[in-house]
Structure 1
Amino acid sequence: MASSSPYLLTVTQNKVLSLYELPVEVSTKVDLATGPRQLASLQADSILAPLSLSLRTTASEIVASVVYTFFHLGCAWSLGIQELRLSKSGQQMGSRLATTVDCQYGIKPQQTVSGLGRRSSAAGNRLSKSELQTVPTEATIVHQEPPTSISYSHPYLLTSHANNTLTMYLVVSTSESLFIKGGQRLWGHTSSVSAARVSDRGKAVSISSRGNEIRLWELESVASGLQKGLKEENSIQVTPESKQQKQWEDAQFVGGTIDRRVREERSISAEMGHRLVRLRSCVGFDDERVILLREKEAGTQIECYDFT
């Protein structure tokens, strides 16, 4: 789901995309009984996880976006985005599509292969030597496995992967066109990344599959063109520490060393905990906290980390 007050966008396992208008004030029993009002409902042919929903509003319309994955023969797993424009009453005004395929090949939006093809047709069905050099034959970004998570908060589009990396794109949406540019690999994690979340201000949080490595990212510099790429120094690793656990460790501290038996028990317990964690989690954050929702064999667990 995604929200932008007073609207809520949801997608279900039955492949139904729905837009609701939430009551601004619940002051009477009638309002409470009425609840959210459905403005629009769309049926999808197929939905492949993971996907991401985004919702933003303007003075005259609602922009609902769905980011999904698909397999491309040239560059393996890629992303597609469908942008739905609706009126404030829920009437569909238009729909546009864009993909990351050109980004993965390193093709700039103004120099697409289709554009070159149209120009060559008008000039005798031949491409000039300079135009041929601008068409890459191999993709520069190839993902052999689907992303572990997708997060889209306009204009930032972020994916996490099992090969310890993330990939960031920028979505350009104007009244005339919709396209995706960029395509920057982010390095820094030392294990598989299970979940990532990005905000519209370019701040992002990513977490490893075991949950023992959290990284905070600053991505605004890429959008402003201040630097060409991102490396590990553009992220900060945060190791959350439980105060109760630290007090317990201090109590076991004897003669400058922790008892070996205690360390072994903690190591075995931690390893068993890691095995129980599935590669499925959701993460959310603000300026002071990170909320993590993880599914374990024993059930769903919600964790809150405070970095103030």
Structure 2
Amino acid sequence: MAKRAREKSDVDGREEKRQRSSSVDRFSGLSDELILRVFSCLPVSQLVVCERLSHKYRSLAGDGQLWKEHYYNRFVRPRASRLPGLKDSRTTDGRLSFASKASRWLDDEHLVGQGVRTDWKKQYKLRHNWTSGSCAVNEIEVAEQPAVPPVLVQMHNGVIYMADRADGLRAWTAKGERKILAQLNFPADCSSQPPTTLAVDTQCADSGIQRVIVGFQDGAFGIFELQLAGGTRFVHLFSHEQSSSGVLSTVALSWPYAVTMTATQRLSLYRFSQPKPGPRHNILDPPRLLHSLKSHTVWPPLSTSLRAATGTITITIAYALPTYLSGWTVGIQEVKVASTGTFLESRLASAVDQHYRPLAFAVPPMLSHLVAPAGGSLATSTTLELRHIHSKPTSLSYTHPYLLVSHPDNTLTLYLVTSTNDTLSISAGNRLWGHTSSVSGAHVGGRGKAVSVSKRGDELRVWELEGGFASSAARKRLASGDISVQIRPESTTARDALPQAGLDLVNRSLSRSSKRARHSQGPTDEPELTLTRGWIGFDEENVVVLKEHSQGRQALVVYDFT
């Protein structure tokens, strides 16, 4: 039986019905206040879609209060819920207020301060990229030839400081065009030896200047000032003569105090007077040596910090500590000195890692008195495991209360430091797993955020360590591996004159250059590698890693999360 032909009236009626249903837009006729109320009920994914519909919706869906609420619910509420007495900071409708007294504890008071206009959508995107490991990568070439010692790098307030013998002291901006801000060759009276350590005064209250201290191989050190106002430039403030104690291994600066430590474990505390204006090259008088201490237990890697309070200076040294017949652990020492130079007290604490073994499991050469293990792959595997467990840490980073140590066996260890008026202690370490190759460096910042990099430089991970792992929920996160995320760079288009590429493009170019090197040098030559010297730094927007090719070329790789 033949099908009945569709009548024209039926088709026209259906088309009219379809047009009539799509032509009525009652939502756009609502007031902006009502549309914002509807948008406040949408998740972030749908809110982003609404921004693409029209210019009006783009403006309304980008409202700061909407994104502030999403920012709070995702990034602040989980942390604020752990605060004691939180019920006192609830609003009348039962919701938590972001601008509560808890914001100072959360280190987010800069977002809700008086006179501060915060782009909440930008902040949400920034924190989202951090938690997902999504970023763009830029590479800044800093040296064509290998520097001995290697180039020193530090980062503070979006400025990257570098020091080496050939180019002196340099400052690069980590934002925008990533260009060089200032450069100053080391004066002849500063030191004729290469620099060995670098530190920035992170507690300077004046936003127009940043002070830097550089230590040298002959024990000398210099004070420099980066003036940001009225034309960015470096000013050489002071040069200290060389010391008979030897090479400086670490320095710290908290104006007007400076701390130096030599490789022979001698700690010196200096106090500078206020700078005097004038045409002199050195505009600072020689400092006063407040105190000097000698240690016999502090071993690198180590971290030194300096904190000045009313009438008291506190020096904190976190270091690797060899233990008798059982490998390595970590220690921390707090030294308190009065502003007049009087020694007040010194406190020590150490930790015993849960993986440390008793005497029978010690590794060679301490195993020479024990019976050799039976042959076989199992014995070899056990020996390698023990060697890694008891090996010396590759890096150490301390930002109170977090002490993070990296190991050559692809793991890190987190310790929590407790410092009160009466006691100083270090908790048992918690092993962090996630890297697939040896970890060369790690850095822990505020709010328990940390970044680590592998020795080959091709794997970076972001860690959320806040609060440690004392609670059962935190231990579950530790066991499931949810405390870290691997950084996944995205290739970017050329935005400035600096050479930049995604990490994959960098590795592919290195692979191509390695192939060319193998063809030109012979089949037995090893390919060119990209290594890291262990230095890594980050701020709210960027992670910066110092990379070095096997043939000596060095570059700063900037991971931009904006």
Segments of 5+ residues of structure 2 without an aligned counterpart are: 1-250, 357-387, 493-499, 518-525
Contact 1:75 1:143 in 2 (8 A): no
- Name 1:245's counterpart in structure 2: 501
CA distance in 1, matches of 2:559, 2:516: 21
Q: Which amino acid is 1:34 matched to?
A: D
CA distance in 2, matches of 1:179, 1:36: 33
CA distance in 2, matches of 1:241, 1:34: 50
Total equivalences in the alignment: 258
Matched, 1:48 2:299: yes
Q: Equivalent pairs: percent with the same residue? A: 42
- Name 2:12's counterpart in structure 1: none
Match for residue 291 of structure 1 among 544, 548, 558: 544
| Aligned CA distance change for structure 1 residues 45 and 77 (closer, same or farther; 3 Å) | closer
| Aligned CA distance change for structure 1 residues 150 and 27 (closer, same or farther; 3 Å) | same
CA distance in 1, matches of 2:510, 2:323: 48
Segments of 5+ residues of structure 1 without an aligned counterpart are: 107-141, 250-260
Name whichever structure is richer in strand by fraction.
Answer: 1
Secondary structure of the corresponding residue to residue 191 of structure 1: coil
Matched, 1:215 2:461: yes
| Aligned CA distance change for structure 1 residues 211 and 69 (closer, same or farther; 3 Å) | same
CA distance in 1, matches of 2:295, 2:301: 15
Contact 2:389 2:409 in 1 (8 A): no
Matched, 1:205 2:459: no
TM-score (norm 1): 0.70
Give per-residue Cα distances to partners, 1:55-114, cap 9 Å, x unaligned: 22333422212222233246421112121111123332111111102x5389xxxxxxxx
Matches within 5 A, 1:155-234: 155-222=401-468, 225=471, 227-228=474-475, 230=478, 231-234=480-483
Secondary structure of the corresponding residue to residue 70 of structure 1: strand
Contact 1:212 1:239 in 2 (8 A): no
Give per-residue Cα distances to partners, 1:214-272, cap 9 Å, x unaligned: 111111132674522525321121134553435x97xxxxxxxxxxx989626747984
Matches within 5 A, 1:1-308: 1-21=251-271, 27-29=277-279, 32-34=283-285, 38-45=289-296, 47-73=298-324, 75-101=326-352, 104=354, 143-222=389-468, 225=471, 227-228=474-475, 230=478, 231-241=480-490, 243=492, 244-245=500-501, 265=512, 268=515, 272-274=527-529, 277=531, 280-294=533-547, 298=552, 301-308=555-562
Q: CA deviation at 1:300?
A: 5.3
Q: Which amino acid is 1:72 matched to?
A: T
Secondary structure of the corresponding residue to residue 201 of structure 1: helix
CA distance in 2, matches of 1:288, 1:49: 30
Contact 1:63 1:83 in 2 (8 A): yes
Give per-residue Cα distances to partners, 1:169-226, cap 9 Å, x unaligned: 1111111111111411111111111001112431111111011111111111326745
CA distance in 1, matches of 2:256, 2:335: 17
Contact 1:75 1:104 in 2 (8 A): no
Deviates more, 1:289-298 or 1:163-172: 289-298
Contact 1:169 1:183 in 2 (8 A): yes
CA distance in 2, matches of 1:76, 1:156: 22
CA distance in 2, matches of 1:179, 1:146: 22
Considering only aligned residues, what root-mean-square deviation do their CA atoms show, in Å?
Answer: 3.4
Secondary structure of the corresponding residue to residue 284 of structure 1: strand
Contact 1:155 1:200 in 2 (8 A): no
TM-score (norm 2): 0.41
CA distance in 2, matches of 1:64, 1:146: 24
